[in-house]
């Protein structure tokens, strides 16, 4: 496993260059964000984001450069079930998926992984009864990445080319 490289952007020292790239992408989208907001649900989140497409619904984001393990995600879901708030886990480049959409963990080819709400990891939507788990879990169809975070592939590519060492 490679060691992360602390990277400065906008006078903030990020834990890794990938987090700095993600922050730059959020800036290009016009989102307002805070790095390492106050702890929520016994977890130190990476970002609190009010996206340009959903400014009234600030979202907690856990950013990972690679897909997290199921155990990690399950532990995060347990923490969120104590005090629900909109949240997602983002990893890697979301445009490596098939149709640039967000879906739940059953679609392992997607690079954006939502946990959106207190108990579920099935994506956006209302609480409905699912037969496979015996409880009320949120679920829905896929949502375009633009509609979720307000970022496009071009923004990600531009952020990846940004020269943090010269800023």
Q: What percent of the chain has pLDDT over 90?
A: 19
Higher pLDDT, 64 or 5: 5
Nearest Cα neighbor of 143 from 22, 47, 68, 59 is: 59
Among 30-34, 117-121, 127-131, 140-144, the minimum mean pLDDT is found in: 117-121
CB atoms within 10 A of CB 16: 18
Higher pLDDT, 99 or 164: 164
Q: Does residue 126 surpass a pLDDT of 50?
A: no
What pairing do the DSSP bridges indicate for beta strands 59-64 and 87-91? parallel
Predicted TM-score (pTM) above 0.75: no
Q: Are 110 and 123 in contact (CB under 8 A)?
A: no
Q: Does residue 146 surpass a pLDDT of 80?
A: no
pLDDT interval class at 42 (50, 70, 90): confident
State the Cα–Cα distance between residues 55 and 52, nearest whole angstrom: 6
Tokens of 68: 């997290």
- Which range among 5-9, 35-39, 76-80, 84-88 has the greatest average pLDDT? 5-9
Q: Does residue 155 surpass a pLDDT of 50?
A: yes
Q: Residue ranges of the domains in the chain?
A: 7-161
Q: What is the pLDDT of residue 36?
A: 96
Average pLDDT estimate for 70-85 = 67
Q: Does residue 88 surpass a pLDDT of 50?
A: yes
Nearest Cα neighbor of 86 from 109, 56, 64 is: 56
Q: What is the pLDDT of residue 43?
A: 81
State the Cα–Cα distance between residues 16 and 91, nearest whole angstrom: 13
State the Cα–Cα distance between residues 92 and 90, nearest whole angstrom: 7
Q: What is the pLDDT of residue 72?
A: 76
Tokens of 125: 């939507």
Arithmetic mean of pLDDT over the chain: 67
Q: What percent of the chain has pLDDT over 70?
A: 53
């Amino acid at each position: 496993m490679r060691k992360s490289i602390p990277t400065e952007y906008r006078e903030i020292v990020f834990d890794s260059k990938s987090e700095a790239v993600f922050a730059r992408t959020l800036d290009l989208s016009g989102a307002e964000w805070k790095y390492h907001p106050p702890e929520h649900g016994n977890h130190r989140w990476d970002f609190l984001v009010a996206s340009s497409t959903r400014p009234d619904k600030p979202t907690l984001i856990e950013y990972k450069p690679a897909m997290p393990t199921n155990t990690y995600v399950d532990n995060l879901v347990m923490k969120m079930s104590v005090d629900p708030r909109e949240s997602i886990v983002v990893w890697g480049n979301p445009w490596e998926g098939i149709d640039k959409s967000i879906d739940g963990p059953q679609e392992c080819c997607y690079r954006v992984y939502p946990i959106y709400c207190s108990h579920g990891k099935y994506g956006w939507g209302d609480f409905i009864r699912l037969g496979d788990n015996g409880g009320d879990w949120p679920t829905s169809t896929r949502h375009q990445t633009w509609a979720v975070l307000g970022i496009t592939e071009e923004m990600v590519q531009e952020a990846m080319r940004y020269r943090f060492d010269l800023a």
